[in-house]
Amino acid sequence: MPSLVAEFLDQNYNWIPQKLLITFGEGMVEDILGLSRENIGGPDRLIWAHSEKSVMASSIIYSLESPRSTLIGEEIWKIKSQPRFLMMIWRAINDMLPTNYNMYQRRLRQNADCPRGCGQSETIEHIFGSCSFMARIKVILGKMNFHFSNDLLEDLLEELHINRKSIKIKLLASLIYRIWKARNQFVHSEQPLSPSSIVLNAILDASDGNWATHVNLDTSWLPPPLGWLKVNFDGSVHPNNYAGLGCTIRNHTGELLAASGARIQSRSVNMTELRSALHGTSLAKDYLDNLIGVIVEGDSDSAIAALNRILSGFYDGEVETKLASCLKDLPKVAISQIDRRANSAADYVANMACSSNFWWERGMPLTQALSFILSKDCSPL
């Protein structure tokens, strides 16, 4: 068996594939053939100083062979993000994650295929670029006006040279971490995070919970991240001076936990919307066991503006004072505004409440109309 690199080269210093195949096997030959070599006849340079341990540090190999690793150096650790996210980025950029492709190269997998059935090798570039799961995430990001290229790692490296403190780079850092985590959950037959949960968790990470500042949802209702509840509220005012307050409470799977409507006397649309928000947040306190927080979501410009003002400590009047007290009782709060077409469930409850009070909780039969709205909201993304 050859023991020197020179024995794998012909007289023109080209690799001899047959010898490589016999010694290393088919899995590694392609990688070896792709290794760059110094120009023949060029000046010598020190690559590795021999030591008594006769061990070459893996970090040196990565710095020589990974084109990405030379770009980042210490810059990765200067990103204002969670340490676990930064460690994941460093490992991904240096191709140190146990993807099926990498494990196959080490003869620890029978094949290199993507476990999601994409028909491609599961490389780092595939996971964060061309994977079908990644495509679903990009659809949701697009609805929220976040647009990225075909490779999240390349986007991150590009943004790293522009502004390492930006919301975009924080979002990318969280996305990379959570996509890999979801991949592992899928591979190990655990309940994986959905694309929408990954995106919404990443946005919360990037925006420090200041949801409304950074999110602009389209016409699709999306479930909250894992560990959060979402309260959707809406108000409906009828010409007879009666109005309906409507709210729904759903978890990260989109499951309806409760729906409540109250009939009140009111002519003011803005006040009805605020009272609906109060109605929903008050109800949410009964469902907070071991949860991180609550997303309060509506379609009214004035109500969302008032909620953000109240969260900032500026409020006036009885309803706003009660809302401020209620929001303070919640562990964490994020405010979200959506298109009214994505708020159909709360709108339905509010309209029902214009006639009489409405209440639903798990175990009770749903009306056909509300059941249809909920099934449409929670269609797979």
One-character DSSP codes across 40-81: TTSPP--S----TT----HHHHHHHH-TTHHHHTTSGGGSSS
Report the predicted TM-score, pTM, of the whole model to 2 decimal places: 0.54
Q: What are φ and ψ of residue 140, in 5° steps?
A: -65, -40
Q: What is the mean pLDDT of residues 184-204?
A: 80
- For residues 284 and 245, the answer to whether their CB atoms sit within 8 Å is no
Beta bridge partners of 264: 243
Q: Which residues contact 57 (CB under 8 A, 6 or more apart)?
A: none
Q: 73: burial class by Cβ within 10 Å (0-12, 13-18, 19+)?
A: exposed
Sequence spans of domains, the chain: 1-32, 74-208, 228-377
- For residues 289 and 227, the answer to whether their CB atoms sit within 8 Å is no
Q: What is the mean pLDDT of residues 119-148?
A: 88
Q: What is the pLDDT of residues 138-178, one digit of tens each?
A: 888 877 677 888 889 888 888 888 887 888 899 999 999 99
By C-alpha distance, which of 142, 311, 290, 116 is closest to 211? 311
Beta bridge partners of 243: 237, 264
Between residues 270 and 80, which one has the greater pLDDT?
270
Q: The domain 228-377: what is its CATH number?
A: 3.30.420.10
Q: What is the pLDDT of residues 22-58, one digit of tens each?
A: 777 766 777 777 665 555 555 555 555 555 555 544 4
